[in-house]
Amino acid sequence: MGASYPKVTPVAKISRSHGKLGEIVIQIYPSYRDSLDFKLPLFIYYDGIAVPFFTEYAKVRSKREALIKLEGIDNLELSDEVVGRSLFVDYLSSQEDQYWELEGFELINENGERVGIATQFYDFPNNPCIGVATQEGGEESFIAPLNEELILSIDWDREQLTIALPEGLDKV
């Protein structure tokens, strides 16, 4: 089974709504602070589909935060609906370059069972991996490979990585 992760790059998290006109405050991920282009569409996932939104205006408050208004999100109710979701773009880096963004994600196995939390990305040549802690706040328990054959899905909004772990890997 091939990977079903998106062909877009997560660049920010919607932290809160602002005002009654549908404005939102976003927290821009550190590696994208200088490359985010508000003239190009931003994507928000709805029911597993990346929906494009054009930016009416953006006020960059700092390197980390911006106040933006997206076309089609025109009131407080609609802006509240997207709070907590990730914003994506389709013009940046390869999928492998995004793996470090998985740190802190909950790791789920192919049976839907919680395995642990992704603690650190390891950029081994031709073999990207993620460290996994099986105890909340605990030390890293094992390292799992990240490749297209093993990644079943990435839910950027729920911060969950579903992966087909090689048998016995989580028992080492």
Split into its structural domains, the chain has a count of 2
Same domain, 147 and 104: yes
Q: What pTM value is reported for the model?
A: 0.56
Q: Exposure pattern of 133-143 as b/e (b: 16+ CB <10 Å)?
A: beeeeeeebbb
Residue at a domain's end among 91, 121, 153: 91
Residue at a domain's end among 91, 118, 152: 91
Residue at a domain's end among 56, 91, 126: 91
Alpha-carbon gap, residue 153 to 124, rounded angstroms: 21
Per-residue pLDDT tens over the stretch 19-76: 999 999 999 987 777 778 899 999 998 887 889 999 999 999 988 899 999 999 999 9
Per-residue pLDDT tens over the stretch 126-170: 778 888 888 766 676 888 888 777 888 888 778 888 998 887 776
For the chain, the C-alpha Rg in angstroms (whole number) is 17
Domain hosting 149: range is 96-164
Alpha-carbon gap, residue 70 to 51, rounded angstroms: 12
How many C-alpha atoms does 132 have within 13 Å on its Cβ side?
A: 23
Alpha-carbon gap, residue 155 to 45, rounded angstroms: 9
Provide the CATH number for the domain around residue 101. 2.30.30.240
Residue 58 resides in a domain: yes
The sheet carrying 114-124 orders its strands as 142-145, 127-133, 114-124, 106-109, 160-163, 151-155
